[in-house]
Amino acid sequence: MSANRHALILTPLAILGCLYALYLVHRPDVAGQAGLAFWAFIVVLWLLTGFAISGLSHLKLKQPVARRAIGLAVPVLFGAFLFFLWEVIVIGAGVPSVLMPAPSAIAAKFSASLPLLRDDFFQTFVKSVLSGYAMGCLSGFLVAIIADRVPFLRRGLLPLGNFVSALPVIGIAPIMVMWFGFDWPSKAAVVVVMTFFPMLVNTVTGLAAVGKLERDLMHSYAAGYWRSLLKLRLPVALPFIFNALKINSTLALIGAIVAEFFGTPIVGMGFRISIEVARMSLDMVWAEIALAAIAGSAFYGLVALIERGATFWHPSYRT
């Protein structure tokens, strides 16, 4: 118990130590030629931070505000320390930036190329991903409802769904470019293909997940198909649908980026990655990766947040 209290002293100490190490590593006489003493210092910091974070995560606090703050601080500190390690190792050991640029270099590149990144983001995320995601998910959902109504469709579509899910993006992307041209519609089409079937399969599964008694209840009220769909089966399917929405949020971004490798106008995140790799300017590639990571996590997080609100009654969220 009281050992964990030490975390409140150890944490600021570890942070100060890390900041000092950052200052050290960027000095010309250390960068690229850090000595044993420096690495020994880093190892000490590692241990110190480890104790501090594990102490923090075991702290038992009374006030809910403090508990929330700690709950937030633990992952933030953990992530920050990983970035710190990345930075000091790359700078301290003088890793060539073609192999692995330092986070500071990526951040510098990121802020220096904001207009370019904004255009790429707009092209890839807003145009291709969002439109493809919306169309793919919506059509997957609607076809699932139709398939639910027409049993032979369900039996035919589900195996086909598994088959198409197994198709590699690399295979369908060039075909979509042939069909829909170089600009974003072909990328959106790839996203539609990738997101359609997860939504279809999940929704069909969800609609079938209704318990016998719950269904009998609707039957005993002589409720028609649409009423029992609306009042019972769709709510039951909602966690499954959100599951598909979450899977698709990551799939869509991957699909759109990879699809841009196969012909695109001179803008877009995938396009940028492919040409900057060829030019060996890896810091720009990493800036795009950072952008993709931020956009992808924000998108996923937003869907997960809506899910929490919409399926609050589900056993995994009940409070």
Using CB under 8 A, list all residues that contact another protein: 211, 213-214, 216-223, 227, 231-232, 235, 311, 313-315, 318
C-beta of 24: minimal distance to another protein in Å? 55
Tokens of 241: 């649908």
CA neighbor of 237 nearest in space, from 214, 281, 196, 203: 203
> Which of 141, 126, 127, 165 has the alpha carbon at shortest distance from 298?
126
Least separation in angstroms between CB 216 and another protein: 5
Backbone φ, ψ for residue 207 (5° rounding): -65, -25
Instruction: Give the chain's length.
Output: 319
Question: How many Å from the N-terminal Cα to the C-terminal Cα in the chain?
Answer: 27
| Smallest gap from residue 159 Cβ to another protein (A) | 25
Closer CB to another protein, residue 2 or residue 319?
319
Our CB check for another protein shows the closer of 9 and 305 to be 305
Sign of the torsion formed by the C-alpha atoms of 149, 150, 153 and 154: positive
Nearer to another protein, 6 or 227 (CB): 227
The distance of closest approach from Cβ of residue 165 to another protein in the complex, given in angstroms and rounded to an integer, is 29
Cα separations (Å) of 162 from 93, 139, 158, 199?
47, 17, 6, 12
State the nearest-atom distance from the C-beta of 308 to another protein, in Å: 13
**How far, in Å, CA of 229 to CA of 240, rounded?**
15
The minimum distance between CB 225 and another protein, in angstroms, equals 12
Chain centre distance of CA 247: 9
Q: Which is nearer to another protein, 214 or 276 (CB)?
A: 214
Whose Cβ is closer to another protein: residue 118's or residue 231's? Answer: 231
Q: Which is nearer to another protein, 63 or 220 (CB)?
A: 220
